[in-house]
Amino acid sequence: MSDSSPQGVLVCDKPQGLSSHGVVSRIRRWFGTKKVGHAGTLDPMATGVLVLGLGRGTKLLTYITGVSKTYFATIRLGSSTPTDDADSDPDRFADPADLARVDTAAIEAAVAKLRGPIDQVPSAVSAIKVDGKRSYARVRAGEDVELKARRVEVSEFQIIDLRFAAEEGHIDVDVEVDCSSGTYVRALARDIGTDLGVFGHLTALRRTRVGDFHIDQAVTLPEDLDVPAPALISLAGAARTLLPVVTVDAGRARALMQGKTVPAGDWHADPDADDSGSREVAVVCDDALVSVAEVRRSGGLKSLTAFAIDLA
C-alpha cells in the first residue's frame, strides 16, 4: 500500500509561549497532513525538544514517551506561584531574614535530597487526570486538588550557577536535570523552596534531550509555513534509536504483516526479560520498518504494531 503523506518522526525546538498542541497544529499545516502527534507535553513556558510523529510515525510515540529526558532550568528561590512556574504570578513570598540565611551549602544539600529515586507529588496545575478530569481544569474551577505522590528517578541534578540577590527578594539557581519520564521539574523547584523554607518556582525551562533525540537535531518552527518542510527521520531510523533491531527478508515481513509468527533468526530473547522490557524489537526489511514485534521465548517473532509497507 503506497502512501504519499509524510511518514516519520520530527524533532522540533518548541518556542516559548506555544503549547505542545499548538506545535502540533502548526506542523499539520506545514507538512499538509492531519495525522500528527507528540511524545511528551512541554508546558507553554518551556522550550526545547518536542518529538512529533507524522503519519505512521504516531505509532512510535508510545515508545518515545517513556524515555528519560534532560532539562536546563532556572529555579527562583524566594517566592512561589500557583503553577510552580512563571506561567502565573507569585502569590507567596519568603521572609527576607529567612532568604538571607540561605547559602550555597544549604542549596546544595536541598538539591542532593532530590537525586535518585524519589516520591514526587506532581504540580496541581498539570494534565494528570483526577476522576477523568484534568487536574489543571479542577484547579481553575476553584477546587483544591491534592495529587498522589509518584515514584520517579532523578539520575542527575547539578547546579550550574547561583546568583544571590536576597536584597531583591530572590536567589536564582541554574540547574541541569536528567530524569525519568513523568518527572516535573517545576515540582523539584517547589520542593527545594519548601525544604529551605523560602518557597520556589521555575522561571526558565529548556528540554535538551528526549531519549536519543537531542536539541542539535531539532527544527525551528518558521513564521512562514509556506517554506519547504524539512526531511523527517525515517520510521526505521527512529525505531533504531528506541529498540533492538531484527532484520528479516521480504517473505518473513509479509508473514508478520499477516499476523503470523515467524523465526527471529539469530536474535534471541532474554529468557529472564519481562513482557515490558527487551523482548520488544523493531523489525526491518530493506531499511523499511515492518513492525514492532515481540520475540517469544520459543524464538518466534509476533507483531505487536504493524507498519504498512510496499514489498516487491
Of 202, 249, 242, residue with least CA distance to 71 = 202
| Identity of the amino acid at 275 | D
Higher pLDDT, 200 or 265: 200
In the numeric block, the cell 550550574 is attached to 160
- CA torsion 69-70-76-78 (nearest 10°) is 50
Q: Within its chain, how far is the Cα of 112 from the centroid? A: 23
- Which one is catalytic: 43, 84, 85, 191? 43
CA–CA separation, 174 vs 45, rounded Å?
16
Q: Are strands 47-54 and 200-210 parallel, antiparallel or unpaired?
A: parallel
Contact present, 157 and 59 (Cβ < 8 Å):
no
Which pLDDT score is estimated for 125? 61
Which pLDDT score is estimated for 149? 86
Distances 128 to 66, 134, 148, 303 between C-alpha atoms, Å: 15, 6, 10, 31
Contact present, 107 and 162 (Cβ < 8 Å):
yes
Contact present, 80 and 200 (Cβ < 8 Å):
yes
Measured over the CA atoms of residue 52, residue 222, residue 83 and residue 213, the dihedral's sign is positive
Would you call 119 a catalytic residue per the annotation? no
Instruction: Quickly state the pLDDT bin for 142 (edges 50, 70, 90).
Output: low
Q: At what angle do helices 185-196 and 104-112 cross, to 10 degrees?
A: 130
Cell of 210: 528526549
State pLDDT tens for residues 198-246. 999 999 999 999 999 999 999 999 999 999 999 999 999 999 999 999 9
Which pLDDT score is estimated for 161? 98
